[in-house]
Amino acid sequence: MPSFDVVSTVDLQEVRNAVQQAKKEVGNRYDFKGSDPSIELKEKEWEIVLEVSDSMKLEAMREILKQRLAKRGVDLKSCVFEEEKKVGGDRVAQRVRIKQGLAEDEQKRIVKAIKGMKLKVSSQIQGNQVRVAGKKKDDLQKVIGMLKSEASDLALQFVNFRD
């Protein structure tokens, strides 16, 4: 029976590359001279920490990071930009969490949307992904199309398409 998995994953190597490129660009830009900018990737926590001397420079760093992530194929929907915080002196910092996998409420939302289509497909939650199976490939393609439009706020990938 044909099936596929709905997942939400981020390639850590692409995040590393984007952070390196952002560091390089920030280091070379004249408007950051003397502000001691810092972009740090914490791989175990799946987060990026931006730190600089003022909010305007932090906004510029955030935009540079977004551009680099997008250019490397990392979906910005999987990045959660937290509130900026004062971190001592006149410095400000911001954490960017990288979401890996689908949360339980997101999985339930996907399954509910699939059931609402009233197609002859089954969907089941497996770990941090959703497996969708059906007799007709056309039905599975309709499910993919619906999820792309209905769950456009999630960074979804459709993998392991099997016959």
Domain range annotation of the chain: 3-8+102-162, 12-98
CATH superfamily of 12-98: YajQ-like, domain 2 (3.30.70.990)
What does the pLDDT average to over 20-41?
A: 90
Q: Three-state SS across 4-49?
A: EEEECCCCHHHHHHHHHHHHHHHHHCHHHCCCCCEEEEECCCCEEE
pLDDT band at 55 (very low <50, low <70, confident <90, very high): confident
Q: For position 44, what pLDDT does the model report?
A: 92
Q: For position 66, what pLDDT does the model report?
A: 95
- Topology of 3-8+102-162 in CATH? Alpha-Beta Plaits (3.30.70)
The encoded tokens of residue 110 equal: 């996907």
In a 3-state reduction of DSSP, which class is residue 106? helix
pLDDT, tens only, 117-160 = 888 998 889 888 999 999 988 889 989 999 998 888 888 989 88
Q: Is 15 a residue whose pLDDT tops 90?
A: yes
| Whether the domain at 3-8+102-162 and the domain at 12-98 fall into the same CATH topology | yes
pLDDT band at 163 (very low <50, low <70, confident <90, very high): confident
Q: For position 110, what pLDDT does the model report?
A: 92
Q: Is 98 a residue whose pLDDT tops 90?
A: yes
Q: Mean pLDDT score of the chain, rounded to an integer?
A: 90
- Report the predicted TM-score, pTM, of the whole model to 2 decimal places: 0.83
Q: For position 39, what pLDDT does the model report?
A: 93
pLDDT band at 1 (very low <50, low <70, confident <90, very high): confident
- CA–CA gap between residue 49 and residue 67 (Å, rounded): 16
